[in-house]
Structure 1
Amino acid sequence: MLRQDVKLISVDDHLIEPKHLWTDRLPAKYQDVGPRVVEDDEGHEVWQFEGQLFPQVGLNAVAGLDVEDFSTEPRRFEDMRPGCYEPNARLKDMDQDGVWASLAFPSFSRFCGQRFLEAKDKDLGLACVQAYNDFMLDEWSGADRERLVPLVILPLWDAELAAAEVRRTAARGAKAIAFSEGPAKLGLPSFHSGGWDPLFRAAVETDMPVCMHIGSSSSMITTSADAPYAMHIGLNGLNSMIAAVDLLWSPVPTTFPDIKLVLSEGGAGWAPYIMEKINWAWTKHRHYCDLPDTPPEEVWSRNFFLCFIEDVFAVEQREKIGIDNLMWEADYPHSDCAWPNSRNRLEEVLEDVDDDDAAKIGELNARRVFNL
């Protein structure tokens, strides 16, 4: 069970970027084209960037709402909990939820900053990336450096620039890197190409885990164009499954045996099946496919970390997954979160788990992986 002295750490939450983030930090020459909040013709608050409008997805900020009130319709800041975008309010919501520390992915910037990959002006894109990271380090985490764990984004269009940003932010206290679960889907070099070696080398040198959130490939698994939105939710674990196999077959863990690869919000119950399947495939096909020499199960236990919200099956299969490879996430303020009952819900999920194992899932693995 989860002891009361366990300081619960969520390794996957989200923040809604506040209105002032880029207007306060970008040079004057970028003020008109940089990200800012405006009202559209229907009175919605939306982001404007390089002349395009981007709505705020309603499901990104539903903490505290009844499920009957969930909607994908854009939400105004005044209709959100302040904890969605203001760090001191977030700390109060964490206190109410029984959560000690939190790592938050961006929203408008998208899960690994791919919004700025799509920028027409890459100098502007780099300025936006660095402004976001400065906000994360100075203002968001600055409200409480122990409890608000700084996760940074990267200029994805250039591996050397990305490595430089890793080192710049690590020197200022960053603890984790957001990266894509499928860079090839973004039109970037694949995990198999060696093109990301400068970035992964910087991640290992700074001992920062590489966090790959579902959807950070700008794609989600679905069945048909007319399937309901919930289809994405039901199948989102497939994104992490695909990323895991892609990386296991790639040279990345062999070239960088100390790298820490975190698969965020994809759950973990699928892992025993995948491990059985790829171990079998490795035995049968590794010679002519030129697969890595190290058995996948060894690479898995050394390099991969999975995160879950309420994955009861994963908890039951924790020994097969690896008790040192499991971490918990709250997903505040998204639709999957249980706020303000996250701790109570996790206590129920871990009720029959050994105290020491429960402490690893709730706190200690995250401390080790993120160097907290």
Structure 2
Amino acid sequence: MEYKVISADGHIDLIWLPHDLFTTNATAAMKDRMPYVIEAEDGLRWVSKKGSQFGLVNGMGSAGRPYIPGQIQRSDRMAAEGIYEDGKKGIRRMTDPALRIKDQDRDGIQAEVLYGVLGAGIRLQDPEAAVEVCRIYNQWLQDFTKHDPDRLIGLASLPAGDVNAAKEEVLRAGKLGLKGLEFATTHEMTPLWDPYWEPLWQAIDEVSLPIHFHTTGNKRPPMDENLPQRAKRAAAATGITNFQLFTSNFLCGMIFAGVLERYRNVRVVLGESGIGWIPYVLDRMDYEWEDQFKSDLDLTMKPSEYWYRQCKATFQYDEIGVLLLDKLGAECIMWGNDFPHPDGVWPDSLEYIERQFGHLDPEVKHKIICQNAMDFYGLVSS
């Protein structure tokens, strides 16, 4: 495979998976606690017996929303390529590996990094069942990526509610041939600076697979349904504008807790985090460390130096970040198209790449859209 463009952020959402995947592969004790599909008034839906709602089968985005023409411009563009209509016909372009690769080809992409079931475990409201969901999904992902391991770069999903369960899945994932780990964070979980997570860091260091934290956004406050539509749209705009910034908590927590100091094999990716905010946070971390925490945190380098040594971030479109490459480090960022989510840039990736990076030195551009991902995930161009 000759790599020219690699998307470091793609998705396989639960709603596009085979309908009986979890109920068929769960242990006898867990079958009744697994996600499954029912026929509802608005179509087939993924649910659980505990009342969890995962969205429409083959719906839009990770939450399986219905596609409504004219509501989101990027969704309209994707709809024009037949994704949602095919989904309604039961054609699972996201989770049929041959069809997925055709969609990569359509977008000029030679490989993509695949984030997994994201917040599905959170919505399940059953921590033990979430562990089983991750186990089943990771086994399925191993088979999926075997179709073309040079193009389909799978990340094993880790449960967030139990450090020991997460540790065991890390060790198992290390034997599945997957290229990385994805930690499905929740707003209620123990913060990453807490020593509670030490067994997880030890396991990740042992298997030497990169750990990925995909952006989840801040927890939104309850909303009065009687508010006028203008206020509801303002709330939605506020949330979608700021949702990437919450990722700074993962970066700060791990660096200040000395995780990257103690474990050189722990490499961190902030998925779909955007990059424009990162130089500011690195500067603040260095300042506060110098000012009041230097004697307390047992770090042998400035906080920002751990970023340059062990961290990366992905983004699809960030003009401010591109202006700050000298502060970010061109080796520390990886472009992604976020396929098939509605805030992504598929099937117009090459246009967005040219718009952002056309003015850069070709070598720098190649690093961002290809070489960094190749090096990070051990891909070899032929």
Residues 210 and 261 in structure 1, CA contact (< 8 A), matched pair in contact too: yes
In structure 2, which of residues 275, 299, 302 is the aligned counterpart of residue 295 of structure 1?
Answer: 302
Mapped partners of 1:128, 1:354: distance in 2:
44
Mapped partners of 1:349, 1:50: distance in 2:
46
Residues 23 and 32 in structure 2, CA contact (< 8 A), matched pair in contact too: no
Spell out, residue by residue over 1:199-233, the C-alpha distance to the aligned partner (whole angstroms, 9 max, x if none). Answer: 11221222211100111xx7446897744323222
**What residue number does 1:186 align with?**
188
Q: After the TM superposition, which residues 251-330 of structure 1 pair with which residues of structure 2 at under 5 Å, given as runs?
A: 251-287=258-294, 290=297, 292-330=299-337
How far 1:35 moved relative to its partner?
A: 1.2
Specify whether residues 36 and 100 from structure 1 end up closer, same or farther in structure 2 by C-alpha distance, changes over 3 A only: same
**What residue number does 2:244 align with?**
237
**What residue number does 1:14 align with?**
11
Q: After the TM superposition, which residues 38-187 of structure 1 pair with which residues of structure 2 at under 5 Å, given as runs?
A: 38-40=38-40, 42-54=41-53, 55-56=55-56, 58-60=60-62, 67-68=72-73, 70=75, 77-78=87-88, 82-107=92-117, 110=119, 113-115=121-123, 118-119=125-126, 122=128, 124-138=129-143, 140-180=144-184, 185-187=187-189
SS at match of 2:235: coil
How far 1:90 moved relative to its partner?
A: 1.0
Letter in 2 for 1:128: V
Mapped partners of 2:90, 2:330: distance in 1:
36
Q: What 5-or-longer segments of structure 1 have no aligned partner?
A: none
Query: How well do the aligned residues superpose, as a CA RMSD in angstroms?
Result: 2.9
Identity of aligned pairs, percent? 25
SS at match of 1:24: helix
How far 1:191 moved relative to its partner?
A: 1.9
Higher relative contact order (CA 8 A, sep 6+): 1
How far 1:46 moved relative to its partner?
A: 1.8
**What residue number does 1:24 align with?**
24
Mapped partners of 1:291, 1:260: distance in 2:
19
Spell out, residue by residue over 1:49-88, the C-alpha distance to the aligned partner (whole angstroms, 9 max, x if none). Answer: 233141246344799x7635859xxx89417873233222
Specify whether residues 222 and 327 from structure 1 end up closer, same or farther in structure 2 by C-alpha distance, changes over 3 A only: farther
Letter in 2 for 1:187: M
Mapped partners of 1:80, 1:58: distance in 2:
14
Spell out, residue by residue over 1:128-151, the C-alpha distance to the aligned partner (whole angstroms, 9 max, x if none). Answer: 22111101111x212211111111
Mapped partners of 2:160, 2:337: distance in 1:
27
Mapped partners of 1:276, 1:222: distance in 2:
30
Specify whether residues 290 and 203 from structure 1 end up closer, same or farther in structure 2 by C-alpha distance, changes over 3 A only: closer
How far 1:320 moved relative to its partner?
A: 1.0
Normalising by structure 1, we get a TM-score of 0.84
**What residue number does 2:79 align with?**
none
How far 1:32 moved relative to its partner?
A: 3.6
| Range with greater deviation from structure 2 (287-296 or 142-151) | 287-296
Residues 282 and 296 in structure 1, CA contact (< 8 A), matched pair in contact too: yes
SS at match of 1:368: helix
Mapped partners of 1:20, 1:105: distance in 2:
21
Letter in 2 for 1:193: D
Mapped partners of 1:221, 1:288: distance in 2:
36
Residues 6 and 362 in structure 1, CA contact (< 8 A), matched pair in contact too: no
In structure 2, which of residues 343, 350, 374 is the aligned counterpart of residue 336 of structure 1?
Answer: 343
Specify whether residues 290 and 260 from structure 1 end up closer, same or farther in structure 2 by C-alpha distance, changes over 3 A only: closer
Mapped partners of 2:350, 2:221: distance in 1:
31
Residues 83 and 91 in structure 1, CA contact (< 8 A), matched pair in contact too: no
| Range with greater deviation from structure 2 (80-89 or 171-180) | 80-89
Mapped partners of 2:182, 2:75: distance in 1:
27
Mapped partners of 1:263, 1:334: distance in 2:
17
SS at match of 1:149: strand
**What residue number does 2:360 align with?**
353
Residues 237 and 267 in structure 1, CA contact (< 8 A), matched pair in contact too: yes
Specify whether residues 119 and 327 from structure 1 end up closer, same or farther in structure 2 by C-alpha distance, changes over 3 A only: same
Residues 160 and 189 in structure 2, CA contact (< 8 A), matched pair in contact too: no
Question: How many equivalent residue pairs?
Answer: 353
Normalising by structure 2, we get a TM-score of 0.82
How far 1:281 moved relative to its partner?
A: 1.4
